[in-house]
Amino acid sequence: MATLSRLYGDISLAEDSVQDAFAVALELWPIEGIPPNPAGWIVTTARNRAIDSMRRTGRGSELEEAATHMSQFAALPRDVGPVDDDRLRLIFTCCHPALSPQDQMALTLRLLGGLTVDEVARGLLTSEPAMAKRLVRAKHKIKAAKIPYRIPREADLPERLRSVVSVLSLIYNAGSDDLAKTQLRAEAIILARQLARLMPDEAEVHGLLALLLLNEARVPARSKEEPTLLRDQDRGLWDRDLIEEGQQIVRDCIRRNSPGPFQIQAAIQAVHVDGASIEDTNWNKIRILYDQLFALTPTPVVALNRAIAISETEGAAVALQQLDGIHGLEQYHLFHATRGTLLRRLDRDAEAEVAFTTAVGLAPTEQDRKFLESQLSGTTV
Amino acid sequence: MKQYLLATYMGEGAAPSSPPSPDEMAAFMKRVADVEQDMEDNGAFVFGGGLFGPDTATVVRYNNEETVTTDGPFIEAKEHIAGFYVINAEDIDEALNWATKVSTAIQKEIEVRPFRATGRVRA
């Protein structure tokens, strides 16, 4: 798919052709057996189909151009290398900053994850026709503005990689907000693994992978019906293999000594899963990591999380002071929920009540609302 | 090779409260001249210029096979096009690279738009 996109510079055509080729493969392979190089077979078949399609639509000049590209392709030494390279190119195309983050997520899931339009639509909470329209518009922009299929040059790489890493993280989060969307989480992890393999020198990519693995490790202990606080999770249900892998990556990142926001977030999660119980959590370490994260990305949400760590190391009163210095989260339910929790710890119950009520009013989903109402009645705290 | 429009917009009456000093103006012109030279040297420069404000605009409207000339900009918008370049670029990355340089020089936003087609239409 990525190979074809590069050859033809036309994602719709490449996409259709690959789908055609897969359909042919499904018919032929059971009869003739699987060819020695299935990926190469798909590419060749899809390429022939794309040329057929261009002939049919009378796109002569494109055919000529495609023929030139084909001879380049034939000259490439191996089948595996270019395919990997092409995946990387396609990731950078799908996550190009000239596209909106929603477009970036949709294209990545559709073209790299291989999800159907309907699956992408459900994953990103929109209707199939709306998603189809979005994808057509995004592909049109790629073509019209000539967003290239290329690994960015060295000077642009940090910014462009940030965009790729954040798209994968957004895809994972969409699958984490609703645990039923296993497919989104799985795709994000698969793509992060591939990216880490293809760009072994990029520490933030490894940080992202570790972050996703450490989050995924705790999914079995989370309820599908309501948010499950870390302190309420049965640690016996955590996936030890994923934790071990994630923590090993975090250790490797620390050795690289080129910290970035995703690596620090992964390190924070690594500390969270380290203790045998919530009481064993090393909050001092977490506090220091949040200080580092805040220095790199001074956003209100990071400040909120930092305040929560401070409540564990320096107490609720200091944390509340920090919290009240944060601006821009007035509409964020968890800001008010955190405030309510801190106020209750300080025995300021009336104010806590007000904070939780505000949080309930702002809750984005029914699940969140129910959970916060349970906090309001004081059953969980 | 594609062509792109790099356009900058300005809000109506957005003139700075105090006019730039001669030194500031000279520094501004130098930055712009340097970018334009850079474009020229790299074969990117096609055409460019700054426009008078929307109060100098005149519109010819077409309506039922008749045309009427009126004063005023085409649309009553908060922002109007203030200047633009037309550049040659291999792809959007190259165009964005020039847009970054122009934006840095004039210290304003630049909108990048690909041309669907350029040159004369031949029937």
The verdict on A145 touching B (C-beta cutoff 8 Å) is yes
pLDDT higher than 70, residue A46: no
A chain contacts of residue B112, beta-carbon cutoff 8 Å: 98, 145
| Min Cα–Cα distance to chain A from B102, Å | 17
- The ipTM is 0.84
Contact A145 B92 (CB under 8 A): yes
Predicted pLDDT at A277: 87
pLDDT beyond 70 at A48: no
Of residues A137 and A227, which shows the higher confidence score? A137
Give the C-alpha separation, A77 to A80, whole Å: 9
Query: What's the confidence (pLDDT) of residue A153?
Result: 86
Sketch the domain layout of chain B as residue ranges: 2-13+21-114
Domain B2-13+21-114 annotated CATH 3.30.70.1060: yes
Which tokens go with A90? 């396609």
Contact A145 B96 (CB under 8 A): no
Residue pair A113/A191 in contact (Cβ under 8 Å)? The answer is: yes
Per-residue pLDDT tens digits for A26-40: 445 444 445 545 555
Packing angle between helix A182-198 and helix A80-94, nearest 10 degrees?
120
Q: How far A9 CA sits from the closest chain B CA (Å)?
A: 12
pTM above 0.90, yes or no: no
Is residue A25 over pLDDT 60? no
Chain A hits for B3, CB-CB cut-off 8 Å, are: none
Nearest residue on chain B to A98, judged by CA atoms? B92
User: Which among B2, B90, B92 has CB closest to A98?
Assistant: B92
pLDDT digits (tens, 9 = 90+) for A267-324: 999 999 998 888 889 999 999 999 999 999 999 999 999 999 999 999 999 999 999 9
What gap in Å lies between CA A162 and CA A204, rounded to an integer? 8
The 3-state DSSP class for residue B2 equals strand
Domain ranges across chain A: 1-76, 79-191, 201-281, 296-381
Q: How many residues does chain A have?
A: 381
Interface of B with A in 51-110 (CB under 8 A): 90-93, 95-96
Q: Quick check: helix, strand or coil at residue B69?
A: strand
What is the pLDDT of chain A when averaged over all its residues?
83
For residue B61, give how far its alpha carbon lies from the nearest alpha carbon of chain A (Å).
29
Q: Do A147 and B92 touch (CB under 8 A)?
A: yes
Cα torsion for A274, A278, A284, A289, to the nearest 10°?
A: 60
pLDDT of residue A19: 57
Mean local confidence (pLDDT), A7-29: 57
Q: Which residues of A touch B90 (CB under 8 A)?
A: 146, 148
- What pairs with residue B87 in β-bridges? B4, B45
Burial (CB count <10 Å: 0-12, 13-18, 19+), residue A35: middle
**Tokens standing for residue B86:** 């037309």
What the block records as the tokens of A381 is 């705290």
Q: What are phi and psi of B81, to 5 degrees?
A: -65, 130
The top-level CATH class assigned to A296-381 is: mainly alpha
Residue B113 with chain A: CB contacts under 8 Å: 145
